[in-house]
A and B are shown apart, each in its own frame.
Chain A
C-alpha cells in the first residue's frame, strides 16, 4: 500500500479567513468548508486585518461579512485592496444587502455569497472556483514577470506584442533591443548587488518611457532588454533617457554604457521573434562602438545572416563534394637579382553550386567562430599534400606549400600525428608542407602553443609565423618561440606604402627578424615600388599580386614549370 504523498501542493488544504461575528454563520460555514479547507475565524474587522497581516502568504481567500462590530466589512475590504501587499488576496463578501454589491465590487471584491446562505455545495463550488482563478492569476503574475526588474519575461512579452499588433495594426512600431557593454565585468568588479541595481535602474527608466509613450518592455536575458513601442525618430533621446541614472559616478571611471539595436518601422508581416532577432543583429553591429552605440537594422544585415546560415548549412556537403578548391599563390625569393619561385601558399576557394565563387572573407571568419575551420583546415592540408605528391610524381617538382593552421587546431593534442599521417599517406617530406600559424594564436595558452610548435619542428615541419606585427606579443614571442620564417602582416605593407610613405617600421621589423636569423616574407605586395623597397630593406620573400594572384593548381603547375628554379640561379 502506498502512503499518501503529503508533500504535494495540490493536496494541501487551502486556508480561508472567515470574518463573521454571528455564531450560526461561523458554524454553518465551518461545517460547509472544514473537510476541504482550514478555516480561520475573525469576529471583528480588527481581528481580520491582524490575521491578514500575519498570515497573508498562506491565506487563499477571505469571506467577509459586512456588518461587524468595530471596523465595518466595507472598511476592511477597502484597507485590503488599498495595500499593495494584500491587494491581490481575493475577498468574497457575504451580505443580505443587495445595494452593497456595487460598492463592494468597486472596492475590489471578487464575488458575493448572499445571506441567507445558499446550500453548502453551492458555497463550496464558488469558493473552489474563486481560489482556482486566483491561483491561476498568481501563477501567471509570477511567471510573466522577471522577479528582479518586474518587467515581462520574453515569452509573455512576445504574447503581448502580438496583442498590441492586433489592436494597433496601423500604428508604426519599432522593435528595440538594448543591453550593457561588457555587463559581466560590472558584476565581477562591483559585485552582483551593484549589477542588480543597474538592471533595475534601466528597467525603471524603460518602464517609465513606455508608460508615457506607449508600448511594452521586457528583460529577455541577463542584461538584455527588448522594447516594442510606437515609432520614434529620436532614438538617441531614448538611449540618453535609459542611461540617465547609470553614470552617477558610482562606478568610477568605468561608466555603464548601453548599446541599442533598432528595427524601425517593423514590417508587421514579419514574425515577432524575427523582428527582435533583427534588432539584436543591429545591436550586435555596434558592439564596443562607444561613440556610436545605436545600430539600425537594414536588409543587408538580414541578407548577410541568411548567407551565413546557408554557408554553415552547406558546409558538410561542400566538403563531401569537394566544392572547396585549393588555389596556390606563389612566393618568390628575392634575395638574388632574379626572383625565384620558392614556395606557395595554399588558399581555399569555395565554388558553391548556387552562389558561385564565395569569397574566403565570407566564410573563413565565420568558420573560425563556429569551429568548422578545424575540419576545413584538415581538408585543405589533405588536398595540398595530395597536390604536392601529384606534382612530384608527374612533373618531378617538389615545391614546398604552406597551409594555414587555425588556432583551434593548434590546441588539438593530435595535431602532430594528424599532419604526420597526411605527409606519410602522400609520401611527401614534412618540410614540403609549411605551416602558417597566426601570431594572435600565441596570445592564448602560450606554453601549449610553444610545446606544439617545438614538437612540429622536431618532426621536420617548417613554421611560418603569419600576420606578424598585428598582435601585441610580437617581440617576446620571437624570443620564446622557435620559428622558421616571419610573415609580415599585410596591413603593415599597406600602411608603409600609403600616400605618406613611411617604411621605418617595416625596416625595423625586417632588421629585428634578421637579428634573430629568421627570414621575412612580405605578403600583399602589389606594386613594383613596394617590391623594390622591400628588396632594398632586406626582405627575403615576396608574395602578392605584383608577382601573381592565387592560381588554380593547373595554372600554378605551368608557372612552376616555366619559372627559374633555385638550381637555375
Chain B
C-alpha cells in the first residue's frame, strides 16, 4: 500500500505535491494511484508504437501534467524530455525514454 513515507523514499516531493491538493493526503495518494495506473496502461506506448506522434504528445503531455503536479520526480524527468521531443515532433529515441518511464513507474508500483 502506497504511503507518503514510501513515496518520499522513492524520490517524490510529497510535501509540495500535497500542497496542490489542499494538503489532503488521502486525495494525494489516490491521485498518485490513478496516475500510476494511467502510466502503466500502455496507451502512450501504443501511440508511439503506431508512430502516432500527435496522439502520443497529447497523452504524454497529459501524463506530464499529473506527474509534475504530484511531484513524482523520478518519472517526471524522462516524461518531460519525451513530451518536449513529441511537441516539436523531433526524431529521437522515444523508445528509450518510454522504457525509462515504464521502469520508473514499475519502481513506484513495487513500493
A interface residues (Cβ-Cβ under 8 A, vs B): 21-25, 27-28, 31-32, 35, 67, 69, 96, 115-120
Residue of A nearest to B26 (CB): A31
* Distance of A24 Cα from B61 Cα, bound (Å): 13
Shortest beta-carbon distance from B91 to chain A in Å = 22
Asked whether B19 lies within 8 Å of A116 as measured between CB atoms, the reply is no
Q: Which of B16, B24, B58, B70 contacts A24 (CB 8 A)?
A: B70
Closest-CB distance, A27 to chain B (whole angstroms): 6
Given A69-B58, A119-B19, A120-B19, answer yes or no on A28-B68 (Cβ-Cβ < 8 Å): no
Would you call B111 an interface residue if the criterion is a C-beta within 8 Å of the partner chain's C-beta atoms? no
Q: Does B6 contact A (CB under 8 A)?
A: no
Pick the residue among A23, A96, A119, A120 that contacts B31 (CB under 8 A). Answer: A23
- Tell me, in angstroms, the Cα distance from A116 to B64 when the chains sit together: 9
Within 8 Å CB of A119, what residues of B?
16, 19-20
B74 part of interface (Cβ distance < 8 Å): no
Given A69-B58, A116-B71, CB of A28 within 8 Å of CB of B20 = yes
**Would you call B2 an interface residue if the criterion is a C-beta within 8 Å of the partner chain's C-beta atoms?**
no
* Shortest Cβ gap from A41 to chain B (Å): 15
Kindly provide the distance from the CB of B87 to the nearest chain A CB, expressed in whole angstroms. 9
In whole Å, how far is B52's beta carbon from the nearest beta carbon of chain A?
14
Beta-carbon nearest neighbor of A29 in chain B: B20
Q: Is the CB of A115 within 8 A of B69?
A: yes
Q: Which residues of A lie under 8 Å from residue B69 when comparing CB positions? A: 24-25, 28, 115-117
Given A25-B66, A27-B30, A116-B20: 13 more A-B contacts, CB < 8 Å: A22-B65, A23-B38, A25-B65, A28-B21, A31-B21, A31-B24, A35-B22, A67-B58, A67-B61, A96-B65, A116-B65, A117-B69, A120-B23
Contact A23 B66, beta carbon cutoff 8 Å? yes
Is there contact, CB below 8 Å, between B35 and A31?
Answer: no
Chain A residues in 8 Å Cβ range of B109: none
B104 to chain A, nearest CB (A): 17
Give the A-B contact count at a CB cut-off of 8 A.
62
Cβ–Cβ < 8 Å partners of B23 in chain A: 120
Instruction: With A67-B58, A69-B58, A119-B19 as known contacts, state yes or no: A27 contacts B27, CB within 8 Å.
Output: yes
- Give the shortest distance, in Å, between A70 (CB) and chain B (any CB): 11
For the complex, what is the distance from the CA of A447 to the CA of B38, rounded to whole Å?
Answer: 95
Q: B89 in the interface, Cβ–Cβ < 8 Å?
A: no
A69 neighbours in B (Cβ, 8 Å): 58
Q: What residues of chain A lie closer than 8 Å to B71, measured between beta carbons?
A: 116
Interface of chain A, main secondary structure? loop
Task: State the B residues within 8 Å of A (CB).
Answer: 16, 19-24, 27, 30-31, 34-35, 38, 58, 61-62, 64-66, 68-71
Smallest distance from the beta carbon of A519 to chain B beta carbons, Å?
A: 100
> Among B19, B27, B62, which residue has its beta carbon within 8 angstroms of that of A22?
B62
**17 sampled A-B residue pairs with Cβ under 8 A:** A22-B62, A22-B65, A24-B31, A24-B35, A25-B65, A27-B27, A27-B30, A27-B31, A28-B21, A67-B58, A96-B65, A96-B68, A115-B69, A116-B20, A116-B65, A117-B20, A117-B69
Q: In angstroms, how far is the closest chain B Cβ from the Cβ of A95?
A: 10
Chain A residues positioned under 8 Å from B68 (CB to CB) = 96, 115-116
CB–CB A23/B34 < 8 A:
yes
Q: Distance (Å) between the CB of B108 and the closest chain A CB?
A: 15
Closest residue of A by beta carbon distance from B76: A116
Counting chain A CB atoms within 10 Å of each CB, which of B16, B21, B34, B70 scores highest?
Answer: B21
Tell me the minimal C-beta distance from A465 to chain B in angstroms. 90
* Chain B residue nearest in CB terms to A115: B65
**Chain A: minimal CB distance from B105 (Å):** 15
Interchain CA distance A96-B20 in the complex, whole Å: 15
- What CA separation (Å) do A118 and B19 show in the bound complex? 8
Complexed CA–CA distance, A346 and B111 (Å): 115
Decide: B21 and A27 in contact? CB cutoff 8 A. yes
Q: What is the CB-to-nearest-CB distance from B78 to chain A, in angstroms, rounded to a whole number?
A: 16
Task: Tell me the bound Cα distance from A35 to B20 in angstroms.
Answer: 15
A31 touches B22 (CB 8 A): yes
What residues of B have a CB within 8 angstroms of the CB of A25 in the complex? Answer: 65-66, 69
Alpha-carbon gap, A161 to B60, bound state (A): 56
Going nearest first, the 6 A-B pairs with the smallest beta carbon separation are A24-B66, A116-B68, A119-B19, A31-B22, A120-B22, A116-B69
Which residues on the A side are within 8 Å of B62 (C-beta)? 21-22, 67
Complex contacts, A27 vs chain B, CB 8 Å = 21, 27, 30-31
Question: Which residue of chain B has the shortest Cβ distance to A119 in the bound complex?
Answer: B19
Bound-complex Cα distance A25 to B17 (A)? 12
Residue of B nearest to A24 (CB): B66
Q: A31-B27, A116-B71 are in contact. Are A24 and B65 (CB under 8 A)?
A: yes
Interface-centre pick from B35, B64, B69 (highest chain A CB count, 10 A): B69
**B residues in contact with A118, CB < 8 Å:** 20
Given known A-B contacts A23-B66, A119-B19, A28 and B31 have beta carbons under 8 A apart: yes
Q: With the chains together, A35 CA to B23 CA distance in Å? A: 13
